[in-house]
Amino acid sequence: MNTIPTPKEPALVQIAQWIFDPVRYMSKNFQKYGDLFQAYVSWGSSDPLLMVSEPKAMQYMLTHDTTKQLTAPGDVNSILEPLIGRQNLILLSGKEHRRRRQLVMPPFHGERLQAYGEIIQQITQQVIAEWSTEEPVNVRNAMQKMTMRVILQAVFGLYEGERYNRLETLLSQRLNMTGSPLGAVLLFLPWLRKDFGAWSPGGRIRQIAEETDRLLFEEIRERRANPDPNRVDILSLLLMAEDEAGHGLTDQDLRDELMTLLTAGHETTATALTWAMYWIHSLPEVKEKLLAELDQVSNPNDPSSFLKLSYLNAVCNETLRIHPVAMLTFPRRVEEPIELCGYQLEPGILIMGSIYLLHQREDLYPEPQQFRPERFLERQFSPYEFMPFGGGVRRCVGAALAQYEMKIILGTILSTLDLELLNQKPVAPTRRGITLGQNAQIWIQKIGQHSPQMAVPS
């Protein structure tokens, strides 16, 4: 049996490479070692960790993650605890994880999603109504404003007032602290988060976290005391959720799940939307095809009309493929000896799927660095060839909401405004916290109204 390939650099050098240039780290090792190699990426566990990117191997890993051979432990995701807390879906394991997933999933599917469509479109219209032809627009800031408000309204059920405004500010500050490659060091090197006083990053994180928690627990307590069965926001639905034994979520459970939805659902969607706006406006042929499809929409004030558009869907998928915001799946632990990619794996080893490397495979996506939405119209990719939201028992619960949000926001913006990209140099992927973002700010300029038929609320 072959020996598992291992990069020759010292572990600390590899961890530094992973923190500051994850794309190069993954690409270089894939070119040297192929579909599976040992990686040092400081993911909160001392167990050996392998990175895999071969579709059949990833399928095996993600379809056997609740068997005797493989598990999907939550404790190895402890790197995320400072962002989202301990009592949440990502850090739970086994029966606890299954029970929590059954409680949390329902608000993100079917008819529930339709209730959020109008909220998403109204927020988009309100934000773009502030754009003028005189001032350039920072795309990430605009997308973050939209997705933050979607979270506050659709998830938290907050629409206005002092608590809404304060949470919007605090949550943005908290996420931005770890939003750069340098800021990500705070996540990967826990001792840097130590509280040395108000001047230190750790002290600032603690202050923001304490005030955020106070506001969230106040909201949770008020909502428990005044239940309203007519509310459709996700917090209201989670407050009513019970398992088969009649047990619901505690205040701490709710707080941690809300922070998870915020971190995973606000920051990631804003990043994906920023990439989409960049690609659409840097490639005239893509923009032209998309506008031609949007011109066929009879009622652009109906957010559901954007959900059926095949080219818009392809643009969203290609955006999520070329630079997937989530670079990796969550780790799986080997519990019994297995063979993967021709290597014998022993119990205790952690396996992590590289979504980035999977999406860059030439055998699946010819010329993978080219942004070409047509590839999603020409063939159907399996869930183990295209997986921007992970897979298996730890697939992102908010995947449907994120895709829904992307289509409605992009459809609404492009149906309303004529925009021009101002960046002169290509934008490349770089680390943003634990995700893959942009290495430069993206700027657009409003040229005029694309269509007068969209009603913009005041």
pLDDT digits (tens, 9 = 90+) for 142-176: 999 999 999 888 888 888 888 888 988 888 887 77
Query: Angle, nearest 10°, between helix axes 399-416 and 284-294?
Result: 90
- Percent of the chain exceeding pLDDT 70 equals 90
448 phi and psi, to 5 degrees? 175, -170
Contact 272, 90 (CB under 8 A): no
pLDDT of residue 33: 95
Please report which confidence band the pLDDT of residue 104 belongs to, taking 50, 70 and 90 as the band edges.
confident
Record the pTM.
0.91
pLDDT of residue 266: 82
Distance CA 190, CA 74 (A): 18
71 phi and psi, to 5 degrees? -130, 165
Nearest CA to 27 among 429, 330, 389, 438?
Answer: 429
Which range of 9-23, 216-230, 324-338 scores highest in mean pLDDT? It is 324-338
Residue-wise pLDDT tens digits, 271-311: 999 999 999 999 999 999 999 999 999 899 999 999 999 99
Query: Angle, nearest 10°, between helix axes 268-282 and 399-416?
Result: 40
pLDDT of residue 144: 92
Please report which confidence band the pLDDT of residue 184 belongs to, taking 50, 70 and 90 as the band edges.
low
Which one has a higher pLDDT value, 179 or 422?
422
Cα–Cα distances (Å) from 66 to 40, 335, 361, 392, 412, in that order, read 25, 10, 27, 9, 41
Q: Which two tokens stand for residue 260?
A: 């998870």
Contact 41, 18 (CB under 8 A): yes
User: In this structure, how many other beta carbons lie within 10 angstroms of the beta carbon of residue 156?
Assistant: 24
Which range of 193-207, 212-226, 272-286 scores highest in mean pLDDT? It is 272-286
In residues, how long is the chain? 458
Secondary structure (DSSP) of 54-121: -HHHHHHHHHSTTSSSEE--SGGGGGGHHHH-SSSTTT--HHHHHHHHHHHSGGGSTHHHHHHHHHHH
- Mean pLDDT to the nearest integer, 309-314: 98
Judged against a pLDDT cut of 90, whether residue 341 lies above it is answered with yes
Nearest CA to 77 among 331, 324, 432?
Answer: 331
Any idea which architecture 11-449 has in CATH?
Answer: Orthogonal Bundle (1.10)
Nearest CA to 427 among 282, 212, 216?
Answer: 282
What is the domain partition of the chain in residue ranges?
A: 11-449
Secondary structure (DSSP) of 228-283: -TT--SHHHHHHH---TTS----HHHHHHHHHHHHIIIIIHHHHHHHHHHHHHHH-
pLDDT of residue 47: 61
Amino acid at 194: K
Distance CA 138, CA 117 (A): 24
Judged against a pLDDT cut of 60, whether residue 457 lies above it is answered with no
Cα–Cα distances (Å) from 174 to 178, 222, 255, 341, in that order, read 8, 24, 15, 40
- Percent of the chain exceeding pLDDT 90 equals 53
Contact 364, 55 (CB under 8 A): yes
453 phi and psi, to 5 degrees? -85, -10
Of the candidate ranges 77-81, 154-158, 262-266, 445-449, the one whose mean pLDDT is the lowest: 77-81
pLDDT of residue 458: 41
Nearest CA to 414 among 318, 305, 321?
Answer: 305
Q: Which two tokens stand for residue 450?
A: 């694309």
Judged against a pLDDT cut of 70, whether residue 44 lies above it is answered with no
